[in-house]
Structure 1
Amino acid sequence: MAQLSDTQLVILSAAAQRDDRIALPLPANLKGGAARKVVDTMIARGLLEEVEARRIALQPQLSDPVWRETGDGHGVTLVATDAGFAAIGIEPEELPEPDGPRSATAGDTCASAAGADHDATAADTAPVAATGAKVRTPRDGTKQATLIAMLRAPDGATIDEIVAATGWLAHSARGAMAGALKKKLGLTVTSEKVEGRGRVYALK
């Protein structure tokens, strides 16, 4: 299990909550050279990748956020990889596929923007969001399924117990509960301090 910094965990957890896997915007306190350093490290480790940002001329508000410009009206955005999600305890099969290649640019003609790009935006955006929920079902035998089973047990589970059962690091276990279970699966995770065990987490 790759060890992540708190900043890397926040970035990947945020990307996991988006159907398109985009890692932007970055945390508000991460700017300039510090942002570049974090992103370069995550790309080098295979946690993030740069892909061409989609730019929709007639509906700029639906364009992808741009990480950096590459010239001629083109730019790239940042997308979390399967390895990045695995690092926070989310199996790739539990995530929706990115909604198509990001190849549309500001240089597209009005006809193409109003045609293929516009149709794809109007017709496909809502179904992607709707079908995304259907693929977020934990498979038997995954670490996420193990986590859910532990939290549904009568006595719940502590972070140490989850770490021992899954092999995750403590912050990855917390990230899985906050990101995968709460945000993606819509489950309610509660916690309370239990004498002799410490903080115990459970599904309500």
Structure 2
Amino acid sequence: GAVRVGGHNVRSYDLKTLRDNVAVVLQKNVLFTGTIKDNLKWGNEKASDEEIVWAAKIAHADGFIREMPDGYDTMVEQGGNNVSGGQKQRITIARALLKKPKILILDDSTSAVDTKTEREIREALKRDLPETTKIIISQRIVSIKDADRIVVMNHGKIEDVGTHDELIKRNDLYSSIAKFQEENSK
């Protein structure tokens, strides 16, 4: 198979062009020693304070950052030991947004965030970045339920593609996971 962007195999793109237009946020995130603002600017070193706050608001990080002792100038300890896992994830989502990518890949990047905050992040991404293609990799059905297309993977192979409603009706694996997760969230 091939991964295509705009109908072209990604291998045909110049690597710098591809890297400049794609941002990836992983489940396990890395924060560097320095201020929160410094960490955010890794996404775009020329970002203005307004752009930084814009990205932090979309990632639902602005609120907790402002509550920190020095706000955006709060020092991040080595490895981000003075922020929670969910805060780390939201900071790295904001960092990726500062890149203003055409494609945003979120690989289980909200696993440490409660479902309400995760939903608010997804809604903000949809509202504030309508032209950005978002690829969300998740084991939580609630995280992908509203996606235009859901790809069901089973043992490394594509098993099915469709909307949530289509997959609930026709894919036993997807519907059993959805039912299990729904029952366990009550």
Asked if Structure 1 and Structure 2 have the same fold, meaning a TM-score greater than 0.5 normalized by the shorter chain, the answer is no
